[in-house]
Chains A and B, each alone.
Chain A
Amino acid sequence: MADKMHLKLTINGEHLETLCEPRELLIHVLRERFNITGPHIGCETSHCGACTVDLDGKSVKACTLFAAQAQGATITTVEGLASPEGMHVLQEMFREHHGLQCGYCTPGMITRAWRLLQENPDPTEEEVRFGMAGNLCRCTGYQNIVKAILAAAAIMNGRDATADDAVKTPEEVA
């Protein structure tokens, strides 16, 4: 058996260390060694995106990364998005627009949407759908997830998310 390695990560602003085998997947280390259980294990085959975390500015599927590959990385999980003042606007909008039903995919959805809105702060509906294509939801049909993300973007851009023209339609973009 291979020796354990000394893994050092910054997760949600906190410096964390553990011993783990190189073959352990990042999702297992997060959930079982650090008890960070926001990222979920859905398919465990790189398809569903429930395990999505933010790693050095990239949305990654933590089931398809050995913890060893993340050595020294800065990671944000859904637990790191809210502040003492309250939930992140994306979380608020997922609640407001009913962007979840069973909730299993939600941590991955929100963590991915968080990165998407940093790269593209004011996306069109089509860009949201394309940018969220690595996250599967088996309940909602995506409609309300897309609405929630567009509403969050509207608020983050200083628009009233409840106004009729807050969210750009594909026709307006074209």
Chain B
Amino acid sequence: MIPPAFEYHRPTDIAGALGVIAEHGDEARVIAGGHSLIPMMKLRMVEIAHLIDLQDVADLKGISVGETIRIGAMVTQHGLINDAALSAAAPILREAALQIADPQVRYCGTVGGNVANGDPGNDMPGLMQCLDATFTLVGPDGSRDVPAREFYEAAYTTAREDDEILTAISFAKPAGGYAYEKQKRKIGDYATAAAAVLIEKQGGKITAASIAMTNLSDIPVFSEAAGDALKGTDGTGAALDKAVAAMLADIDPTEDNRGPVEFKKHVAGVILRRAIARAVDRA
């Protein structure tokens, strides 16, 4: 369980990290919390000649909370959970992060790594699509922003180019009610199904709804139709059935050790119903 030899780099700024990538190209790879990458390296499923540790890059840390919320890519799940200002402004992040892995992994695992890796099982990509977040990527040609809803192309394939580093995540401070609901077989497992839901209400009627699902396709699924089905309703009864049906039409689960397709669709429906009910209740 020891990977092949590699050279270790620990730059102190983004330019330094980009410099190592420019010099070594495909042989270089950045490491954030390492809890997806190191297991793959140990299994020798990926081989990396130059490992670039981002832990000393100060520009990748920190959380700023205003009307726009910005989270540095190297903020850990533990840091996110314990940030009082962030938890007050966008409690859905804390609710989701507490359901990721276990305490030890949350001390190391980063938000940036979770969204950038492109693993369909990761929770943050769906959540960021629900929040309509923007990812900032920095590469040799400068910086560009990509919406979370356009970032994911296939499992482990994203809009990020190999010579770019995901540096930050930004989104407008969410309003209304929220819920992150996840079904998993045990602590530390990825979701069998998970749902991120944001609901805004006025006079008992839903005015805005955003719904995204996790681990039910090879990419996170933002279901615009599911959100639309709730608008103008109280989010119960026929409207809730319609939203669930719309979501089920958008997901594309595959059979694996978490169950057959029909089971996953069943769980997705149960999870979304719970998430909508809780978000409506909190709105």
Q: Which residues of A contact B (CB under 8 A)?
A: 1-3, 5, 21-25, 28, 44-47, 49, 52, 58-61, 63-66, 68-69, 71, 112, 116, 130-134
Q: Let me know if B45 is at the binding interface, CB within 8 A.
A: no
> Given contacts A22-B8, A23-B5, A64-B34, is CB(A45)–CB(B107) below 8 Å?
no
Question: Which chain B residues (215-250) contact chain A, with CB distance < 8 Å?
Answer: none
Question: Which chain B residues (147-206) contact chain A, with CB distance < 8 Å?
Answer: 187-188
Q: Which of B2, B3, B4, B102 contacts A134 (CB 8 A)?
A: B102
> Given contacts A22-B51, A68-B53, is CB(A133)–CB(B5) below 8 Å?
no
- Whether A66 lies near B8 (C-beta < 8 A) is yes
> Given contacts A2-B7, A21-B5, is CB(A45)–CB(B39) below 8 Å?
yes
Convert B201-213 into 0s and 1s, putting 1 for each residue whose CB lies closer than 8 angstroms to a CB of A.
0000000000000
Convert B14-35 into 0s and 1s, putting 1 for each residue whose CB lies closer than 8 angstroms to a CB of A.
0000000000000000010011
> Given contacts A46-B39, A134-B102, is CB(A60)–CB(B108) below 8 Å?
yes
Q: How far in angstroms is the closest Cβ of chain B from A113?
A: 11
> Given contacts A58-B107, A134-B102, is CB(A23)–CB(B4) below 8 Å?
yes
Q: Which of B2, B5, B104, B187 contacts A60 (CB 8 A)?
A: B104
Which residues of A have CB within 8 Å of B274?
Answer: none
> Given contacts A5-B8, A23-B3, A69-B53, is CB(A61)–CB(B105) below 8 Å?
yes
| Interchain CA distance A112-B39 in the complex, whole Å | 21
Q: How far in angstroms is the closest Cβ of chain B from A97?
A: 21
Besides A45-B39, A66-B38, A130-B103, 5 new A-B residue pairs in contact (Cβ under 8 A), listed by A number:
A1-B5, A22-B6, A45-B1, A46-B105, A66-B8
Q: How far in angstroms is the closest Cβ of chain B from A62?
A: 10
Q: Let me know if B273 is at the binding interface, CB within 8 A.
A: no
| Interchain CA distance A22-B8 in the complex, whole Å | 6
| Interchain CA distance A172-B108 in the complex, whole Å | 33
Which residues of A have CB within 8 Å of B2?
Answer: 23-25, 28
> Given contacts A44-B1, A69-B34, is CB(A23)–CB(B105) below 8 Å?
no
Which residues of B have CB within 8 Å of A65?
Answer: 34, 38, 108
Q: Which residues of B contact A (CB under 8 A)?
A: 1-8, 10, 31, 34-35, 38-39, 42, 51, 53, 55, 78, 101-105, 107-108, 187-188
The contact sample of 11 A-B pairs, CB cut-off 8 A, is A2-B6, A23-B5, A46-B39, A59-B103, A64-B39, A65-B34, A65-B108, A66-B51, A69-B34, A131-B103, A132-B103
Which residues of B have CB within 8 Å of A52?
Answer: 104
Which residues of A have CB within 8 Å of B35?
Answer: 46, 64
- Whether B102 lies near A133 (C-beta < 8 A) is yes
Top-4 shortest CB links A-B: A134-B102, A22-B8, A58-B107, A134-B104
Q: How far in angstroms is the closest Cβ of chain A from B153?
A: 27
- Whether B8 lies near A134 (C-beta < 8 A) is no
- Whether A69 lies near B1 (C-beta < 8 A) is no
| Interchain CA distance A130-B188 in the complex, whole Å | 12
Which residues of B have CB within 8 Å of A59?
Answer: 103-104, 107
Q: Which of A22, A25, A49, A69 contacts B104 (CB 8 A)?
A: A49
- Whether A61 lies near B104 (C-beta < 8 A) is yes
Q: How far in angstroms is the closest Cβ of chain B from A137?
A: 13
| Interchain CA distance A22-B55 in the complex, whole Å | 15
Q: How far in angstroms is the closest Cβ of chain B from A133?
A: 4
| Interchain CA distance A169-B38 in the complex, whole Å | 39
Q: How far in angstroms is the closest Cβ of chain B from A123?
A: 12
Chain A residue, CB-CB nearest to B41: A23
- Whether A133 lies near B103 (C-beta < 8 A) is yes
- Whether A60 lies near B107 (C-beta < 8 A) is yes
Q: How far in angstroms is the closest Cβ of chain A from B83?
A: 14
- Whether A112 lies near B103 (C-beta < 8 A) is yes
